[in-house]
A and B are shown apart, each in its own frame.
Chain A
Amino acid sequence: MLAQSITDLIGNTPLLKIPSEVHGLKNIEVYAKLELLNPWGSVKDRTAWGILKPHLDELNDKLVIESSSGNTAKALQMIASLHGSSLKTITNRIKVPEAKDVLKLIGTQIQELPGKSDCYDPNDPNDPIVYIQQEIAKDPEKYIYGDQYFNDLNRKIHYDTTGKEIIDDLGKVDYFIGGLGTTGSTLGAAQRVKEHNPELVAIGVVAEKEDYIPGIRNHDETLEVGLFNPEFYSEIVTVNSHDSLEAMMKLIKGSGLLAGPTTGASFLGALKYLKEVDDTLTETKKAVFIACDRVEWYTSYIKDRKPEWLGEAHSESWKDDVRPNAETDVSADRATQWIDDNQPLVIDLRQPISFKMAHIPESINMPYDQLDPMLNTTNPFSTKQKLLFVCPLGEKSSLVANYLAGKNAQAFSLQGGINAWRDQNLSLERDL
């Protein structure tokens, strides 16, 4: 297969039959539409292409602007880059740090929106669309606005391609299940499939209100989406992130599909609905759900909810080997005398920026956070030189001094830290 342009690779994704032991249904065959095989990894590649295709000529001298926090932004940026343009996304919904990193990496300009005002201010627009409109109004010729929540091209591309491909591969489909975000992919694809089988049952999947699932909305949020057509769906199933991740794991382990949390949500939504109808069926039916994207850029999202899945083995640390001993403490009121008598190397464990602002004269700076690699492997200090460690309150310095004292170093800790030193009005220096 030879491709002339990466955009030729958008769409034409296969359907994967999910083994019955993974979904557990007796009378329904379940197929995943593998949108995660699109060139940039998600169903949104089609959406972005559908929205930008009519504007390719304008991309030379215009920027793309959109409110997107993830896959749409990624795909819009990639298409824009191909044509010498780039994307500005105005959003307050980027909740997955990896997504933000990737967007920055590929050159997207991210503008964050202020949060909703806590004490009501009648003069506050409190609406992201207002900010996008203000930005466009400043220079209307500068931007192509994707408007994915209202733009019918978002629905149409899925009608033209996603839905058609499903019919070509499978013929008659009885159930179609998709997550509801902009609602374009589910609506467009399902409308096409329904033309082939007017009996099609379309199921939308939304997140619980207090929850967050990337790319799909909750009940209230769908009410604001321009493309959302509630009458179209036979049922709207609500899922939570916890169970969606379990469903995602079933797909990963049982069907070899490296599915992400949103795919898990669609699969879960499918099972929730289909389990009910399965028992009532006498003949075999076919269901299709959208496997919208992959797992890789959600690791921190998963870690937040399922830390045990990413459990890291406890590695050995110098901190395990500290035996507390008060004899390493030097109190602030006798510190100057002690320094005069012992001429120690004074080592300040605070961050460099704090060290610069104020420190004990002639001290050196070794930030605590950077000590681990050294102390875990070796003792970098001479055992002949007295050492006085200083930190904000004398806690971290005590740990370090006690550890090193156990390794035969002459290590001491300033009790009460730099705060106690300052409280004694002892001299501090500043590096400018």
Chain B
Amino acid sequence: MFTLTPVIASHIEDTLSDGNKIQEWVTAFGSPLNLIYPKTVVSNIERFQEVFESHKIKGEIFYAYKANKSVAILKQLAVSNAKIDVASEKQLQKALSAGVVGQRIEATGPKNASFIRLALLQGVVLNVNSPQEVETIVALRQELKITGATPVFIRLKEFKSGKIDIVQKDTKFGLSIEEARKAIEKLKNSKDLEFYGFSFHLSTISEQERVVAIEQSLALTLEAIKAGLTPRGINIGGGFSANFLKNEKEWHEYVSAIKDSLINPNKPSMSWNQSGMGYWAERGKIRGSAKFSDFYRSYDQFQELDKVLSSKTPSFGIIGQFLQENMLTLFIEPGRSLLDQVGITLAKVVSINKSLKGETVVFLDMNRSHINSIELEFMSDPVVISTKEKIKPATDGVFLSGNLCLPHDFICGRKVFFKQELEPGDILAFINTAGYFMDFTESETIQHPMAHKIAIDSSTWFVDEKYEPKFN
């Protein structure tokens, strides 16, 4: 038995405690079904703000909308003081129609002309990815005869520190240090663009890398100030972690069990067809790296931000203090961490079969696209909601298969250990799926329908698009 018990916030516990309601919803809307708790986004925002306040700095939060398609979340954020980070023309349209004005929106990622055009017309902050994009923006401004200056962040890709020699992975977004210096010269003489500051995004668990990137951003910010620009601050992007699991020991034991099962054929298989979830055994040694992120974190996203602000850069001292002294705002763009405990995914058990090699395979009425984030495995155990009165204890772990007529369609490639034997009609609740899991790569492949979303506000619930936000 290797379990991965999820962290479940009390508002989600409340929902799960009403099994009849859940059955009703799944019957009415079909399986899978996503539940969204829009108010929780606001409380996560408040907790980030508390961190800014504790360091006595100005901070602004852009919600990375790409993490979830829910309209209810947008509507709720429209009546909060958060801002929205959009990454496509359609996302921008939806943010605007949810009631968020252009000044509260930032456009990031690769942008085509029509995305930039709408952003320019609405006074959206553009997070610029390349020197060429600056040219495109200036040209489109002239075409559209836009008079007010367009606010821009300039994204950086190159980070150097005088004191720490760190290997950088290759990265395709942003400007090099030299290009950023040229951009400062250009912005200095431009009436078209208003410089908000430098930005970067790192998806790393290394504190040191982030510190080096901040140091580089601050160094260039000071150069910009010396050149006569008035940047508002720096934008350190997202990439804040979230913790999914209750128990650190369970997590470590599970990961060890995957590796042990690859080396020792006498141990029970932990991954479908011994695929190893990114690991393999080579002459008795484990090679490769995990195809899943650390679902257990000993610190949360708010502590992580606190750590960033408390850490020291070799050139500028403690980051929070330096921002405060120089009256600079810290912008962040959290997605997954802001959606922590904001959603769950319900799926119905359709049938059960034994595999050729004797594994139990449970077929769910959902497929991998409904819980898949760039091939990343979902590593917490779903909660079983059973209507049966008698429960049979389970004898072994099972594999959760999707409903696609394809051999590779597994909800997760790992063995899941339930206390009870699953039966057709049972509902599984995958906890904390709002951030990048429930709809990031969702598709109608083999004409299975997309999942519906329900937005829940304590005792009332809405179809996602019909959500009625209240000011918190």
Report if B169 contacts A (CB, 8 A): yes
A-B pairs, 8 with minimum CB distance: A115-B206, A354-B325, A209-B252, A115-B204, A126-B289, A120-B376, A223-B286, A112-B166
Report if B374 contacts A (CB, 8 A): yes
Q: Contact flags (1/0) for B142-181 with A, using CB distance below 8 Å?
A: 0000000000000000000000111111000000000000
Return the contact of A210 from the options B168, B248, B315 (Cβ within 8 A). Answer: B248
**Chain B residue at smallest Cβ distance from A218:** B252
28 A-B pairs (CB sep. < 8 Å): A90-B167, A112-B164, A112-B166, A112-B208, A113-B166, A114-B168, A114-B169, A114-B206, A115-B204, A116-B205, A117-B204, A118-B205, A119-B336, A120-B292, A122-B374, A127-B289, A209-B252, A220-B252, A220-B256, A223-B260, A351-B317, A353-B322, A357-B225, A357-B226, A392-B324, A392-B325, A392-B327, A393-B324
Bound CA–CA A418/B324 (angstroms)? 9
Please indicate the chain B residues that have their CB under 8 angstroms from the CB of A117 in the complex.
169, 203-205
Bound CA–CA A419/B56 (angstroms)? 11
Which of under 10, 10 to 19, 20 to 34, or 35 or more describes the interface residues of A?
A: 35 or more
**Contact status B167-A112, CB under 8 Å:** yes
Least Cβ–Cβ distance between B259 and chain A, in angstroms = 5
Report if B209 contacts A (CB, 8 A): yes
Bound CA–CA A121/B293 (angstroms)? 10
Inter-chain residue pair count (beta carbon < 8 A): 124
Report if A9 contacts B (CB, 8 A): no
Bound CA–CA A115/B239 (angstroms)? 12
**Contact status A223-B248, CB under 8 Å:** no
Bound CA–CA A395/B376 (angstroms)? 47
Please indicate the chain B residues that have their CB under 8 angstroms from the CB of A131 in the complex.
167
**Chain B residue at smallest Cβ distance from A109:** B165
Please indicate the chain A residues that have their CB under 8 angstroms from the CB of B447 in the complex.
none
Return the contact of B293 from the options A114, A119, A225, A228 (Cβ within 8 A). Answer: A119
Please indicate the chain A residues that have their CB under 8 angstroms from the CB of B168 in the complex.
114
- Known interface pairs A116-B204, A209-B252, A223-B285; A124-B169 also in contact (CB < 8 Å): yes
Report if B29 contacts A (CB, 8 A): no
Please indicate the chain B residues that have their CB under 8 angstroms from the CB of A111 in the complex.
165-167
Report if B222 contacts A (CB, 8 A): yes
Please indicate the chain A residues that have their CB under 8 angstroms from the CB of B452 in the complex.
none
**Chain B residue at smallest Cβ distance from A353:** B316
Q: Which of B165, B167, B225, B317 has the most CB of A within 10 A?
A: B167
Report if A226 contacts B (CB, 8 A): yes
Q: Contact flags (1/0) for B299-338 with A, using CB distance below 8 Å?
A: 0000000000000000111000110111100000000100
17 new A-B contacts at CB < 8 Å, known A111-B165, A118-B204, A125-B289: A90-B167, A92-B206, A112-B165, A114-B166, A114-B167, A114-B209, A115-B204, A115-B208, A116-B289, A119-B203, A120-B373, A209-B252, A209-B256, A210-B252, A210-B298, A220-B255, A224-B287
Report if A26 contacts B (CB, 8 A): no
Bound CA–CA A24/B373 (angstroms)? 55
Please indicate the chain B residues that have their CB under 8 angstroms from the CB of A115 in the complex.
204-209
Report if B263 contacts A (CB, 8 A): yes
Bound CA–CA A422/B326 (angstroms)? 10
Within 8 A of A (CB), among B217-240: 222, 225-226, 239
Q: Contact flags (1/0) for A232-244 with B, using CB distance below 8 Å?
A: 0000000000000
Please indicate the chain A residues that have their CB under 8 angstroms from the CB of B289 in the complex.
116, 125-127
Please indicate the chain A residues that have their CB under 8 angstroms from the CB of B322 in the complex.
351, 353-354
Q: Which of A92, A109, A119, A422 has the most CB of B within 10 A?
A: A119
Within 8 A of B (CB), among A77-117: 90, 92, 109-117
Report if B291 contacts A (CB, 8 A): yes
Report if A33 contacts B (CB, 8 A): no
Please indicate the chain A residues that have their CB under 8 angstroms from the CB of B241 in the complex.
118
**Contact status B259-A220, CB under 8 Å:** yes
B interface residues with partner A (beta carbon < 8 Å) = 56, 164-169, 203-209, 222, 225-226, 239, 241, 248, 252, 255-256, 259-260, 263, 285-289, 291-293, 298, 315-317, 321-322, 324-327, 336, 373-376, 436
**Chain B residue at smallest Cβ distance from A130:** B289
Please indicate the chain B residues that have their CB under 8 angstroms from the CB of A92 in the complex.
206
Least Cβ–Cβ distance between B195 and chain A, in angstroms = 15
Least Cβ–Cβ distance between B60 and chain A, in angstroms = 16
Least Cβ–Cβ distance between B304 and chain A, in angstroms = 10
Bound CA–CA A101/B293 (angstroms)? 32
Please indicate the chain A residues that have their CB under 8 angstroms from the CB of B315 in the complex.
353
- Known interface pairs A117-B203, A118-B205, A209-B256; A351-B167 also in contact (CB < 8 Å): no
Least Cβ–Cβ distance between B328 and chain A, in angstroms = 10
Report if A319 contacts B (CB, 8 A): no
**Chain B residue at smallest Cβ distance from A92:** B206
Bound CA–CA A62/B317 (angstroms)? 37
Report if A430 contacts B (CB, 8 A): yes
Bound CA–CA A353/B164 (angstroms)? 20
Within 8 A of B (CB), among A200-238: 209-210, 219-220, 223-226, 228
Please indicate the chain B residues that have their CB under 8 angstroms from the CB of A418 in the complex.
325, 327
Bound CA–CA A185/B209 (angstroms)? 33
Least Cβ–Cβ distance between B433 and chain A, in angstroms = 15
**Contact status B286-A224, CB under 8 Å:** yes
**Contact status A226-B285, CB under 8 Å:** yes
Report if A374 contacts B (CB, 8 A): no
Please indicate the chain A residues that have their CB under 8 angstroms from the CB of B256 in the complex.
209, 219-220
Report if A1 contacts B (CB, 8 A): no
Please indicate the chain B residues that have their CB under 8 angstroms from the CB of A226 in the complex.
285
Please indicate the chain A residues that have their CB under 8 angstroms from the CB of B376 in the complex.
119-120
Please indicate the chain B residues that have their CB under 8 angstroms from the CB of A2 in the complex.
none
Bound CA–CA A224/B232 (angstroms)? 47
Bound CA–CA A90/B373 (angstroms)? 31
**Chain B residue at smallest Cβ distance from A135:** B167
Please indicate the chain A residues that have their CB under 8 angstroms from the CB of B248 in the complex.
210
Report if A358 contacts B (CB, 8 A): yes
**Chain B residue at smallest Cβ distance from A150:** B285
Least Cβ–Cβ distance between B315 and chain A, in angstroms = 8
Please indicate the chain A residues that have their CB under 8 angstroms from the CB of B285 in the complex.
223-226, 228
Bound CA–CA A117/B226 (angstroms)? 35
Please indicate the chain B residues that have their CB under 8 angstroms from the CB of A224 in the complex.
285-287
Within 8 A of B (CB), among A374-415: 392-393, 395
